[in-house]
Amino acid sequence: MKLGRKITGGKYLKRRKKKKYERPGQKRIVKLGEKKRKIIKTRGGNKKVFLFSGKIVNVNQGSKTKKTEIKNVLETPSNKFFARQNILTKGTIVETELGKVRITNRPSQEGVINGEII
């Protein structure tokens, strides 16, 4: 039988529409470039910060943290095409003034880029 149909051929009707908080959001891609963010109101009066592009990474060096500029995207283990397009995701290895740095957070959902030296 076709999907969404009863055995008799009738359609199943939705009980209700999806509410705003149940709807899927847009897929957000963080690119290398000038800092660009968007703040969105969420359920319960909270806020989410979405990062669209950034070029500064917070690098952990043991107990100290330094801000450095990203020079280039070297490789992305999740998708080799992301490195060519300068897309930043968790696990991406980037080149900075301090050396090679691996991004340790999810920049599209947290609004900042954090990393550690390899």
Are the C-beta atoms of 92 and 104 separated by less than 8 Å? no
Whole-number pLDDT of residue 3: 82
**Residues in the chain with pLDDT < 70?**
1
Can you give the pLDDT at residue 14? Answer: 85
Is 55 a domain residue?
yes
14 within some domain: no
Region label for 80, one of left (φ > 0), alpha (ψ between -120 and 50) or beta (otherwise): alpha
pLDDT of the residue at 1 = 55
pLDDT of residue 89: 94
Could you tell me where the DSSP H helices lie in 4-118? Answer: 80-84, 107-110
Domain count, the chain: 1
Q: Is residue 15 part of a domain?
A: no
Answer yes or no: is 46 within a domain.
yes
Bridge partners (DSSP) listed for residue 40: 48
Parent domain of 90: 26-117
Inside any domain, residue 30: yes
- CATH number of the domain at 63, please: 3.10.290.70
User: Domain for residue 109, yes or no?
Assistant: yes
Phi, psi of 108 (to 5 degrees): -70, -25
69, containing H or E segment: strand 64-75
pLDDT in tens, 28-61: 899 999 999 999 888 889 998 899 999 999 999 8
